[in-house]
Structure 1
Amino acid sequence: MIRVRQDDIVELTLRNHPDNRTPHNIDLHAVTGPGGGAKYTVVNPGQSATIRFKALKPGVYVYHCAVPPIPMHISSGMYGLIVVEPPEGFPPVDREFYVMQGDFYLTGQRGQPGLWQFSLEKCLAEQPDYVVFNGSVGALTGDRALRANVGERVRIFFGNGGVNLTSSFHVIGEIFDRVALEAGSLWAENVQTTTVPPGGATIVEFTLEVPGDYVMVDHALGRLMKGASGVIHVEGPENPGVFDVVVPGVSLSSGH
């Protein structure tokens, strides 16, 4: 994730590793200029290009490779976020996290071992094999789960690289105090699930009041089985005034 402030002058150099086999470039949605910089950053293996731009508008913006075939490059994970803070910065919080969703299309089948090429046929049919957070299945689970404490205020910069799917971002067991709709200047309060289109982003903020594991999902829940989940592990004292177990039922792995 790239992070700057509004009115910063940013100089960016894109280098293509000499071992690569294809040209690449970068389209930054925060850039005002031809192709978001993509027109002038096409680089062959072993080459580099440099652009300079002014960060005009605050927000959270996607960047991605835009060399044809663009879906192949994006579905290979060539995307990220650039955060443009207002001149005074964002209000302070205790924790900030980066989470980004993407959908992958393979010539093999989901769960099949091996190294597989991009499937244009599946991409055009919008039938991904995997929908993941931060680049791979399980990237934000187990030992790699996000961690925070009871009483802390959390801010998540959430982006959707695509290629195709709109995300319905939801944290099971939490209500977002504030959501920057499409990461713009309009904020909504008390939101359960927020929609993030391909090539879009959002900011969500909430305060953690009860310990436990909170599962982040795309609430189009068929995608949960394709990998779209992550965990926020929260430690701290119980808070029976907010949540208490009176008579426990049987244990399941999900809140849904």
Structure 2
Amino acid sequence: MTFTPMTRRTVLAGAAIAGALSQVHAVVAETKEVLTPVAASAEGLPRVKVTLVDPPFVHAHEQVATSGPKIVEFEMTIHEKKIVLDDDGTETFAFAFNGTVPGPLMVVHEGDYVELTLINPETNDLMHNIDFHASTGALGGGGLTQVNPGEKCVLRFKATKAGVFVYHCAPPGMVAWHVVSGMNGAIMVLPRDGLKDGKGNPLHYDRVYYVGEQDFYVPRDETGAFRKYDSPADAYDDTLKVMRTLTPTHIVFNGRVGALTGDSAMTAKVGETVLIVHSQANRDTRPHLIGGHGNFVWATGKFHNAPDTDQETWFIPGGTAGAALYTFEQPGIYAYVNHNLIEAFELGAAAHFKVEGDWNNDLMTQVLAPTAV
């Protein structure tokens, strides 16, 4: 396969850095070399088409593969849109795989082939691509998936490593801006024989939820109020200045403050085992389930490593997805937070689990109610 580093696409990306973001629509279409490699070993394998669902939910899948490797087909459409981050009406422009922040969780088994159709509608302004941390090949597929508005491409890669992995947009010269504009998600590659504890015993989950933690950098005006802009191009220079301070204005789960609380809280029942997949494409994070634990935790998300057990808080490095299993033993509202508590309670990185069932007084009881001393 021939790969030319300097292409029309990289030139467009470089021009965008200089502020000329609106010129993508004016580029005349031209014939391009087909860069998608053909994996001979995938020929003849059965194909399965999966319809992705919005986080925190995850599409139906087998926990233990009941057949041999297959080609799993996914399709994602890129959205450029304005979103509201909090109840105060703070706005920012998001770049979103399939229209959600984070993008959908994709699930396959080790040895399967992931085949993604990536669509960039002509109504968008920018070039986008995708870098899969789960893939093997330079730039994680980023060099093979650079799509301008009005284009689509198809990427196929073999899932050779078991675990949960980040994917994100990575256009040349604009990687950080696109990632902190919400353009990231995760893929889960399950071992074909399912999850195991450190002794090789099988592990099973009754429910799975995907939490995508996202840092945003919204500029303020001279009075301290958050600015609003008419387009991503208008916001770019000011946003970059805030990004370079390394100080987020918002750190949220699933796209906005409170997105996974109240009526949108994640749910479970006493006795159910829940798998929590948690990604952070940019910054370190420290998930903690208040009143629960990580019975089995893959903090860096790789399933062939023995999981840590009985964790109170686990550390997920930036650019990584992690996974934790917990069997709920008591009912109630559980807060699931980034245990940098400033980021959780001041900036927004908090969610809720609403758990139904009977209370077990042996595990916890109120011996004396609050009373005067």
Cα distance change of structure 1 residues 243 and 114 upon mapping to structure 2, 3 Å threshold: farther
Q: Deviations over 1:4-46 (max 9, x none)?
A: 1101022111111111101000000001012100011000001
| Count of aligned residue pairs for this structure pair | 248
Give the number of the structure whose residues are more often strand, by fraction: 1
Find 1:87's aligned residue among 178, 192, 205: 192
For 1:102 and 1:221, how far apart are their aligned partners in 2?
A: 15
The alignment status of 1:53 with 2:157, answered yes or no, reads: yes
Tell me the SS of whatever aligns to 2:154. Answer: strand
C-alpha separation in 1, matches of 2:362 and 2:227: 48
Structure-1 separation of matches of 2:257 and 2:130: 25
From 285, 288, 291, the counterpart of 1:170:
288
TM-score by length of 1: 0.92
Residues in 2 aligned to 1:183 and 1:129: alpha-carbon distance in whole angstroms = 27
2:200 matched residue in structure 1: none
Render the CA deviation track for 1:188-217: whole Å, top value 9, x for unaligned.
111111111111011111111111111011
| 2:115 maps to which of 11, 24, 29 | 11
Q: Tell me, which stretches of 5 or more residues in structure 2 are unaligned?
A: 1-104, 196-202
Shift of 1:157: 0.8
Name the structure 2 match of 1:253.
none
Q: Do 1:101 and 1:160's aligned partners in 2 also have CA atoms closer than 8 Å?
A: yes
Post-superposition offset of 1:115: 5.2
Q: Which has the higher contact order (CA 8 A, sep 6+)?
A: 1
Larger Rg: 2
**1:98 maps to which of 198, 210, 214:** 210
Q: Report if the CA contact (8 A) 1:59-1:83 is conserved.
A: yes
- TM-score after normalising by structure 2: 0.64
Q: 1:107 — aligned with what?
A: 219
Partner letter of residue 98 of structure 1?
Y
Identical residues among aligned pairs (%): 38
Q: How far off its partner does 1:248 sit?
A: 3.5
Q: 1:173 is aligned with what amino acid? A: G
Cα distance change, pair 156–72 in 1 and its aligned pair in 2 (3 A) = same
Determine whether 1:137 maps to 2:257: yes
- Which segments of structure 1 move beyond 6 Å, counting only runs of 4 or more? none
Which whole-Å CA distance do the structure 2 matches of 1:20 and 1:76 have between them? 15
1:44 paired with 2:148, answer yes
Root-mean-square deviation over aligned CA pairs: 1.8
Q: Distance in 1 between matches of 2:311 and 2:216?
A: 28
Letter of the aligned partner of 1:102 in structure 2? Q
User: Which one-letter code corresponds to 1:190 in the other structure?
Assistant: D
1:32-82 C-alpha deviation (Å, 9 max, x unpaired): 012100011000001011111110010000000001311111111110000
CA distance in 2, matches of 1:137, 1:151: 29
Q: Runs of 5+ in structure 1 lacking a partner?
A: 251-256
Range that drifts further, 100-109 or 235-244: 100-109
